[in-house]
Amino acid sequence: MLEARNLIKEFGELRATDDVSLRFGVEEGEMVFIVGPNGAGKTTLINLLTGLLEPDEGSVVMHEGTGDGTVERDITDMRPDKRVKEGLVRSFQIVHLFEEMTVRENVRTASLSNHGRISEMRSLDDEHETVERDVDELLEQFRLKDVADEVAETLPHGDRKLLDVAISFALDPDYLLLDEPTSGVGSEEKEYVIETVVEASKEQNVSTVTIEHDMDIVRDYADRMVALVEGRVFREGSPTLLDTDAELRRTLLGVTEDE
Partner 1 sequence: MSTEDADADGPRRFRLMKGLELTSRQLFYVFVGVLALFLVPEIQGFQSSLRVRTVYLGLCWGIAAVGVNLLLRHAELVSFGHAAFFGGGVYGAALAARYGGIEEAVLLVAAGVLVATTLGVLIGWLVAGYLDIYFALITLAFNQLLFAVVMGSPELLGSDDGLSVRPTSELSRPTVFGLELGPAQYEVLTYYVLIAVVVVTLVVTWRLVNSPFGRALDAIGQDRTRARFIGIPVKRYVWGTFVISAVYGGLAGGLYGLTALRARPEGTLFALRSGELLFMAILGGFQTLLGPIVGGVALTYMLTELRFATEYWEFATGFALLLIVFLLPNGVIGSLPAIVDGLRARARNPAKVSGDVRFLGGLLGSKLRDAAETTKILLFGVK
Footprint on this chain of partner 1 (rule: CB under 8 A): 50, 52, 79-82, 84-85, 89-90, 92, 96-101, 105, 108-110, 112-114, 117-125, 128, 167, 170-171
- Tell me how far, at minimum, the Cβ of 139 lies from partner 1, in Å: 16
126 or 258: whose CB is closer to partner 1?
A: 126
- Tell me how far, at minimum, the Cβ of 168 lies from partner 1, in Å: 8
92 or 234: whose CB is closer to partner 1?
A: 92
Say how many C-beta atoms besides its own lie within 10 A of residue 176's C-beta: 26
108 or 224: whose CB is closer to partner 1?
A: 108
What residues contact 223, with CB distance under 8 A and at least 6 apart? 27, 30, 31, 32
100 or 149: whose CB is closer to partner 1?
A: 100
What residues contact 201, with CB distance under 8 A and at least 6 apart? 29, 31, 176, 207, 208
118 or 246: whose CB is closer to partner 1?
A: 118
Please name every residue paired with 207 in a beta bridge, in sequence order, or none if there are none: 175
- Tell me how far, at minimum, the Cβ of 251 lies from partner 1, in Å: 32
How far is it, in rounded angstroms, from Cα 231 to Cα 56?
A: 14
- Tell me how far, at minimum, the Cβ of 179 lies from partner 1, in Å: 11
- Tell me how far, at minimum, the Cβ of 101 lies from partner 1, in Å: 7
Helix (H/G/I), strand (E/B), else coil: 184: coil
Q: Write the CA distances from 139 to 20, 54, 117, 118, 165, integer angstroms.
A: 37, 34, 20, 20, 11
Q: At what angle do helices 103-114 and 129-141 cross, to 10 degrees?
A: 130
